[in-house]
Amino acid sequence: MAGEPQDDCLFCKIVAGHVPATIVRETETTVAFRDINPQAPTHVLIIPRAHYRDAAALATAEPALAADLLREAQAVADEEKLDSYRVVFNTGAGAGQTVFHTHAHVLGGRGLEWPPG
C-alpha cells in the first residue's frame, strides 16, 4: 500500500534504522544521506519517510510531501555550502531509477554538464 513501509525496500530499511547510512539531515517527513556511489563531490539522497514508488506517485498522492523533498534539497545545499547544484528525480528503470522508493539526488561541488548523460 502506498505510503506504508515495504519489507523489501532498501530505503524503507534505512528509514527504520535497519540498514546503516551516513545521514546528513532528518526531518519529521524526510531523511537525507550520502549516496554510496557518489557522482559528484556532494551527492546526497533525500527520501520521504513514507514509501512511494517514484516522484510521480508521490506528487499525485502527497504534493506537500513532494514539496518537503525540495525544501530539504535547498537545506542540504546550504549546509554543504553549494553555490549551485542539481536536483534529480529518476522515474522508472529506463531513466536510471534502481531503488523504487522516491528519492531526490542533490549533486554539486563540480561543474555539471547539460544535457546529463
Residues designated as active site: 103
Q: Provide the residue type at 15 as one letter.
A: V
To 10 degrees, the CA torsion angle through 44, 45, 47, 52? 170
CA distance 104 to 35: 11
